[in-house]
Amino acid sequence: MIRAQQKPLVEIESLIGQAKNVLVLGCGTCTAVCLAGGEKEARTLAAALRVSAQIKGVQREVRHSLVQRQCEPEFVREVEEEALWADVIVSLACGIGCQVMNERYPERLTVPGVNTCFLGAPIEHGVFDERCQACGDCILHLTGGICPIARCAKSMLNGPCGGSQHGKCEVNPSNPCAWQLIYERLLSLNKLELISAILPAKDWRSARDGGQRRIVREDVRL
């Protein structure tokens, strides 16, 4: 899922500026799961903004609400009334949700209340790790189910580099070396031949390097 982290309160306040009516809008999917922008976080942030406004003597009404999936225009229709009441909407969804709100309600500014970080998985409670960079041409079948694009600091296709030691990545010793993991997994699967062959240079057109990407499904288009 998409992983995000809430922005600091002071930053969010600066994004709100002088707005009188503020809607904090959580999302019930990814950012809820990573504890950055679900119902609870939206409620807490709204309360914090209220308290802060009170202390500073700013006249401001703050409400909060939730959309189950802020990344889909269908879903954000549900909050039309609150959205149009607000001067500024603070989105606690990922960058997609924030943009969908801006597209759906162009007369209102929706500002990001979280930093969208990566596509990842929890490795323990409260710890999330990156797993995928959505490169558009998945090669996990070649690398033992471990992604070198997202998890090797140099996105090497023929690792490990010379800095891999004691299973740690040279760039950040709190991360495992992705290529050490790949080696071990393929060794245990008896499939080392997969990385004994040279993986050719990647065609990055399917990744972001080809410009903004779009998927068209003719079969389900209306």
| Residue 200 contacts other proteins per CB under 8 A | yes
DSSP code of residue 94: -
For the segment 29-48, give every residue that binds ligand SF4 (CB under 6 A): none
For the segment 161-180, give every residue that binds other proteins (CB under 8 A): 161-168, 170-173, 177, 180
Contact in structure between 22 and 62 (CB atoms under 8 Å):
yes
- Segments of 96-166 assigned E as strands: 109-112, 114-124, 127-132
| Residue 192 contacts ligand SF4 per CB under 6 A | no
User: In degrees rounded to 5, what are phi and psi of residue 125?
Assistant: -60, 120
Toward other proteins, which CB reaches closer, 28 or 176?
A: 176
What token pair was written down for 56? 């500073």
| In the complex, minimum distance from the CB of residue 125 to ligand SF4, in angstroms, rounded to a whole number | 24
| Residue 190 contacts other proteins per CB under 8 A | no
Rounded to whole angstroms, the Cα distance separating 176 from 159 reads 13
Which of 18, 196, 211, 215 binds other proteins (CB under 8 A)? It is 196
| Residue 188 contacts other proteins per CB under 8 A | no
Residue span binding other proteins (CB under 8 A) among the ranges 3-11, 66-74, 85-93, 193-201: 193-201
Question: Quick one: what does residue 114 bind among other proteins, ligand SF4, none, with the CB cut-off 5 to 8 Å set by partner type?
Answer: none
- Return the amino acid letter for 213: R
Rounded to whole angstroms, the Cα distance separating 148 from 92 reads 30
DSSP code of residue 72: S
Residue 67, beta-bridge partner list: 27
| Residue 130 contacts other proteins per CB under 8 A | no
Contact in structure between 80 and 101 (CB atoms under 8 Å):
no
DSSP code of residue 220: G
DSSP code of residue 212: S
For the segment 155-174, give every residue that binds ligand SF4 (CB under 6 A): 156, 159-161, 163-164, 169-171
Contact residues for ligand SF4, defined by CB under 6 A: 132-135, 138-140, 147, 149-150, 152-154, 156, 159-161, 163-164, 169-171, 177-179
Residues in touch with other proteins (CB under 8 A):
153-168, 170-173, 177, 180, 183-184, 192, 196-198, 200-201, 204
